[in-house]
């Protein structure tokens, strides 16, 4: 027997989406144009040069960030990606991840600063972040498809929403973890709140914030497969293709490529976090 009372949440959501797509259609077109342009530009930068040039650049970045071991590992890892014939797909996915990460970080760090500076703002932002992280990621694709149509943009939008929460949380945690005596000393010397933020709190919180950026990147990469479901090119589309064909070989090849890209991004960003921690310690 069905209950007589039902909350029409689904109908409310559909009405809200219809209102948004009708009222803010111009804004959505603008966002789509900007994201597609940014993605196409970065994707062109990664896929146009010969693969060995990009691999050498990645290896140099890894070497500078962490040393020769990570540099050599990067060379070998991306050589495997080329050997699996997944190079272009890996670069498509990397472009999507980098665009989603940049936008998520640009949004999340100011939100984290706001949450750290205001208990009231923190009490509002935290439940929203809990909701964003708890909601199944594929649910975000439905309104994204309605507003931005099939392609790379819904994947980027879903990635931003799903991945930005750690950036906000770690930024707030880092700033709140700064020694209060140091902040009070800044006030005692007549520093403005803006100067205290940029010259005391953010530099001391930088290692924690970088850890949050690292998590944003990892969550963005975890959305690659889901982005492939809505037509975004890259390794996700290969995995979706493998699922449709029940092709274990193709799925394993694309999965290994995802792992290699993830390890590269994780080790490089973690190394940058350690470097910033060392510099902060020396400056202190």
CA distance 155 to 138: 10
Q: What is the pLDDT of residue 280?
A: 53
- Is residue 6 in some structural domain? no
H or E element in which residue 188 lies:
helix 180-188
Residues in the chain: 284
Give me the CATH number covering residue 150.
Answer: 1.10.3720.10
- What gap in Å lies between CA 74 and CA 58, rounded to an integer? 7
Tokens 């935290």 sit on residue: 126
Residue 221 within a domain: yes
* Average pLDDT rounded to a whole number, residues 148-167: 86
* Residue 85 domain flag: yes
Residue 167's alpha-carbon distances to 41, 124, 190, 206, in angstroms, are 25, 16, 30, 12
Whole-number Å distance between alpha carbons of 73 and 59: 8
- Into how many domains does the chain fold? 1
Q: Is 147 within the bounds of a domain?
A: yes
Distance (Å, whole) CA 284 – CA 274: 15
- Answer yes or no: is 271 within a domain: yes
Does residue 8 fall inside a structural domain?
Answer: no
DSSP state of 201: I
- Per-residue pLDDT tens digits for 225-284: 778 887 888 888 888 889 888 888 988 999 999 999 989 988 888 887 666 555 555 554
Which residue range is the domain that position 37 belongs to? Answer: 25-283
pTM, two decimal places = 0.86
- The mean pLDDT of the chain is 86
For residue 13, tell me if it sits in a domain.
no
pLDDT band at 131 (very low <50, low <70, confident <90, very high): confident
2: in domain = no
């Amino acid at each position: 027997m069905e209950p007589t009372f039902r909350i029409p949440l689904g109908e409310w959501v559909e009405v809200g989406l219809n209102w948004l797509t009708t009222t803010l259609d111009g804004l959505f077109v603008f966002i789509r144009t900007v994201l597609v342009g940014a993605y196409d530009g970065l994707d062109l930068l990664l896929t146009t040069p010969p693969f060995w040039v990009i691999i050498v650049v990645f290896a140099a970045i890894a070497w500078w960030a962490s040393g020769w071991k990570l540099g050599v590992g990067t060379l070998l890892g991306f050589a495997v990606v080329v050997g699996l014939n997944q190079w272009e797909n890996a670069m498509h996915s990397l472009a999507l991840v980098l665009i989603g990460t940049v936008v998520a970080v640009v949004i999340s760090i100011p939100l984290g600063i706001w949450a750290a500076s205001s208990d009231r703002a923190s009490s509002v932002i935290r439940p929203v972040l809990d909701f964003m992280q708890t909601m199944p990621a594929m649910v975000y694709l439905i309104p994204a498809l309605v507003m931005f149509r099939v392609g790379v943009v819904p994947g980027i939008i879903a990635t931003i929403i799903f991945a930005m929460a750690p950036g906000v949380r770690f930024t707030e945690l880092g700033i709140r973890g700064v020694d209060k005596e140091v902040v009070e000393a800044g006030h005692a010397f007549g520093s403005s709140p803006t100067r205290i933020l940029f010259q005391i709190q953010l530099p001391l919180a930088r290692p924690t914030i970088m850890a949050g950026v690292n998590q944003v990147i990892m969550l963005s990469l975890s959305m690659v497969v889901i982005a492939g479901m809505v037509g975004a090119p890259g390794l996700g589309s290969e995995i979706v293709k493998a699922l449709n064909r029940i092709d274990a070989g193709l799925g394993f090849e694309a999965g290994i490529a995802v792992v290699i890209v993830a390890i590269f991004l994780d080790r490089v960003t973690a190394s940058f976090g350690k470097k910033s921690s060392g510099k902060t310690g020396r400056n202190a």
